Amino acid sequence: MREMTLMSEPSAKKVAAKKLMLACFLEAVAIIAGLIAYALTGNWVWIAIGVLGGLGFSLPALIVFIRASMEERDRASR
């Protein structure tokens, strides 16, 4: 009979860290898109839209990462 091994699931903190890295990449893309739109139109509002749009990616991911870190720390202290 073949022995089955269970793969351990990655911790919530590691998953949140990966999502945070993806969010940072998407934020950079949004800011670059805003800078390109500014260069094409000369309207500074596009830079603000790029920054605020990028925060829509990174801020929620940062909150999830901080919560996962706090949960991991609480579990470790028990």
Give the per-residue pLDDT at 61.
93
Please write the tens of the pLDDT for every residue from 56-73: 999 999 999 999 999 888
pTM above 0.85, yes or no: no
Higher pLDDT, 2 or 51: 51
**69 class by beta-carbon count within 10 Å (0-12 exposed, 13-18 middle, 19+ buried):** middle
Please write the tens of the pLDDT for every residue from 11-50: 888 889 999 999 999 999 999 999 999 999 999 999 999 9
How far apart are alpha carbons 61 and 1 in whole angstroms? 44
